[in-house]
Amino acid sequence: ALLFTTPCLAQDTDADGIPDAVEFDLGSDPAHAEQFTLLHHDGIIGEDDESASGTYESAPDFVDIYLANVAWDRWLWKITFADDYVGDGNTFILYLDVDRDLTTGRQDNDSVRGTDLMYTQVNGEFGLAEYTRGLRSDPLRMAVVGNAIYICADLPLGEGNADGQVRFRVLSHVSPPNT
């Protein structure tokens, strides 16, 4: 499901910053506030940012990456940006190595070797690439709300505890024309 919302106009019963309609579409409970754990703080460009190179500095700047367990094997990623996220003209990728095995999944690029699933937003369109069979969960559940991208996935990360259970990498850049 592709969903872009304006948070100030939407009801948020549990006051967790995610509108109820978005929580419903993502597969989380609108009556129960998500308990996010900060996995990575990247900082803001010019302050404490960890940009891969100067060519990415004009892209939407992600600041924090969070993860919450919303049901047995259902996980909700929250990637926040310095400003409201605009999909048009931009690319976002979340690379996940769910099985933590570098010999499975994507093998064509050392920086993302072992990637089992790749969640994408390219020019406002969400997508999912599966590199290790059997890990993909349907339907694709992603949303943009203000300065955050949310990705909800059913993954075997461990009952309520993802610490050390998944490797990830995030990329944000300006989309090349005609992609």
Beta bridge partners of 38: 66
CA distance 108 to 12: 42
Side by side, the strands of the sheet bearing 148-154 are: 4-5, 141-145, 148-154, 74-81, 62-71, 37-41
Residue 121 pLDDT: 93
Residue 47 pLDDT: 57
Per-residue pLDDT in tens (0 to 9) along the chain, 179 residues: 445 445 455 799 998 889 999 999 999 999 999 999 999 888 766 555 555 555 555 778 889 999 999 888 889 999 999 999 998 889 999 999 988 889 999 999 998 999 999 999 999 899 999 998 887 767 899 999 999 999 999 887 755 455 557 788 888 888 765 54
Residue 128 pLDDT: 93
Residue 175 pLDDT: 73
71: CB partners within 8 A, 6+ apart = 27, 28
Residue 42 pLDDT: 83
Residue 158 pLDDT: 56
Residue 54 pLDDT: 52
Residue 166 pLDDT: 79
In this prediction the pTM is 0.84
How many of the other CB atoms lie within 10 Å of CB of 53?
7
